[in-house]
Structure 1
Amino acid sequence: MQVHRLPALSDNYIFLLHDPERRIAAVIDPAEAIPVLHCLKELGATLVAIFNTHHHADHVGANTALLQRFPDAVVYGGAEDRGRIPGQQVFLHEGDRVSFGDRTAEVLFVPGHTRAHIAYYFSPNHPDEMGDLFCGDTLFAGGCGRLFEGTPTQMVSSLSKLRALPDTTRVWCAHEYTLKNLEFALSVDGNNADLQQRFVEVKSRPQPFRSNGSFYAGDRKAN
């Protein structure tokens, strides 16, 4: 399974999963249709699934447009989001499993950002491979999602659940908040040497989004 990271809106990422052998694709949290459609065209792939982590418009905004182009695609989301995700057909609970290509994901219930938020953890097929976590707005580099519907207690529990995943897990966060998160973290924990080092590393790199929201740097694909 290949993962393509597509920029969207002013600071979002859409993740497109590609099975090159079957020439099929799935998309996670499509905020906009155009980046997804362009990537599908480049890959020559057919969209077969939409995996949503929660109902916010910057994560489901392209569901309807993509279904118009690919009416057979199946839309997945959390059971508690019933009626809030456009086109949702599958209502997932903690511990459910979904498959794409040769990989299977476990569904994790991670409320906090919203009351219905879920995440998808694709475990590796072999011990020497990486797992892949698509966590929506629950976990970011250097921070976590804002609490809209959930409670601090729920968010701590959700983050603890994600922390328990194997160390060999790639975390695919839905927004590019890294620098701002680290700046805030240092404002409350300024003597933390690990935070200081991480901030210097991130600050020295080209930032993925310009001030006008356009994308100009950063990795787009991981095999």
Structure 2
Amino acid sequence: MPMEIVRIPVLSDNYVWLVHEPVSGETMVVDPAVAEPVLAEADRRRWRIGQIWNTHWHPDHTGGNAAIKAATGAIVTGPAAEAERIPTLDRTVREGDRVRLGEAEAQVLEVPAHTAGHIAYHFAEEEMLFIGDTLFAMGCGRLFEGSAAQMHANMTRLAALPAETRVYCAHEYTLSNGRFAVTAEPGNGDIAERLREVESLRASGEATVPTTIAAERATNPFMRASSVEALAALRAAKDNFRG
């Protein structure tokens, strides 16, 4: 039976992911910015949250940890490199570690650049990736604590994952990213077509994620960047983009 994944929009543009493994009945939440909508959705579905998985320390990814933990007794897992900045952590993980949700197993990938200890959770068998703020639909995270070289390495690594892999990022940034992407690659017809689709979805109030590795290979300028220098130039341009 496939895992059930619920997208919970919170704050201005965050997505919290509620993940249920039906064989065991176990449920976890990825990067809860706040607690109340997450607890309410789990209660509505009669799911009991047993775990919280954090990708990095930023408050809009960890702000709900304490309240969810208090309400459910959930075990909180997150990056070892950022343990001092996530006081609610019960378990720290690093590159190559394995974490389980019932019958499903994910591998921890270290993907620093947005923050120094940023991690992702890759369910290889289920072809799912919870990537936090490293990779977005048609974009990538800002380089707050890392380098363009690190982000370029991340993009190369993620591009090598199976094309069908579904990518669950933590923000609804696709419209802005798409508008930038068409300026970065004006001759890319795939980007132009995808932007039209995104504009239609957002006009209807619909979400644009999850995305897939295949879609990002074709339409994400950061994943398509040929060098560290090219990615650095794109990131600098995007940081100043007002589109």
Q: TM-score, normalised by structure 2?
A: 0.81
Identify the match of residue 137 of structure 1 among 133, 139, 142.
Answer: 133
| TM-superposed deviation, 1:220 | 9.6
Structure with the higher fraction of residues in helix conformation:
2
Relative contact order (C-alpha < 8 Å, sep 6+): which is higher? Answer: 1
Q: Which amino acid aligns with 1:80?
A: A
Query: What's the % identity of the aligned pairs?
Result: 46
1:197 maps to 2:197: no
Contact 2:120–2:129 (CA<8 Å) still a contact in 1? yes
Give the superposed CA RMSD: 1.8
- Where does residue 93 of structure 1 map in the other structure? 94
Q: SS at 2:85's partner residue?
A: coil
Query: C-alpha deviations, 1:134-158, integer Å up to 9, x for none?
Result: 0000000000001100100001111
Identify the match of residue 156 of structure 1 among 129, 152, 161.
Answer: 152
- Where does residue 38 of structure 1 map in the other structure? 40
Q: SS at 1:217's partner residue?
A: coil
Query: C-alpha deviations, 1:17-67, integer Å up to 9, x for none?
Result: 113444331000000111111111012121111100000000000001111
Query: C-alpha deviations, 1:75-127, integer Å up to 9, x for none?
Result: 11111001111311111111110000221001000001011000000122xxx
Match runs of 1:54-69 below 5 Å: 54-69=56-71
Q: What residue ranges of structure 2 are gaps of 5+ in the alignment?
A: 211-243
Q: What residue ranges of structure 1 are gaps of 5+ in the alignment?
A: 125-129, 209-215
Identify the match of residue 174 of structure 2 among 166, 175, 178.
Answer: 178
Identify the match of residue 29 of structure 1 among 25, 28, 31.
Answer: 31
Identify the match of residue 12 of structure 1 among 11, 14, 32.
Answer: 14
Give me the whole-angstrom Cα distance separating, in 2, the residues matched to 1:123 and 1:101: 15
Give me the whole-angstrom Cα distance separating, in 2, the residues matched to 1:70 and 1:112: 32
Q: SS at 2:84's partner residue?
A: coil
Contact 1:113–1:149 (CA<8 Å) still a contact in 2? yes
Query: C-alpha deviations, 1:154-178, integer Å up to 9, x for none?
Result: 0111111111111121011110000
| TM-superposed deviation, 1:219 | 8.2
- Where does residue 52 of structure 1 map in the other structure? 54
- Where does residue 212 of structure 1 map in the other structure? none
Q: TM-score, normalised by structure 1?
A: 0.88
Query: C-alpha deviations, 1:165-198, integer Å up to 9, x for none?
Result: 1112101111000010011111222222111111
1:79 maps to 2:88: no
